[in-house]
Amino acid sequence: MTRQELIDIGFKEIPHFTIGNTLIYDLDRRRHLSVADLGGPNEFMYLCEVDDENSKEINDLVCVHNYDYDGKLSMEKVKGLISCITARIF
């Protein structure tokens, strides 16, 4: 899976530099999926809740994928999580 494939389904680059080249997918209701270090050994995906007063602050996050435990992230897993949370069908 590539960054471009994630961008093609709606992920966006964040406007500032991060070490992991983070991409985010807006899930509405102040939530987003955050993917970083795609294809590398530090690859992860978090479900994040954004602060209602400061959109640059994250109040809570849950790790939903970690390369060390789950191996490489797949497009099926990404699309499945998005579908479960938003009811969007790919």
> pTM here?
0.89
Q: Is the pLDDT of residue 8 over 90?
A: yes
What is the domain count for the chain?
A: 1
- Residue 53: is it exposed, middle or buried by C-beta count within 10 angstroms (0-12/13-18/19+)? exposed
Nearest Cα to Cα of residue 11 among 60, 45, 58, 51: 45
In this prediction, residue 90 has a pLDDT band, given cuts at 50, 70 and 90, of confident
**Whole-number pLDDT of residue 17:** 75
Local structure of 48: helix, strand or coil = strand
Please name the residue ranges forming H helices in 1-90. Answer: 3-8, 67-70, 75-86
Domain that holds residue 20: 3-86
Q: Is the pLDDT of residue 56 over 90?
A: no
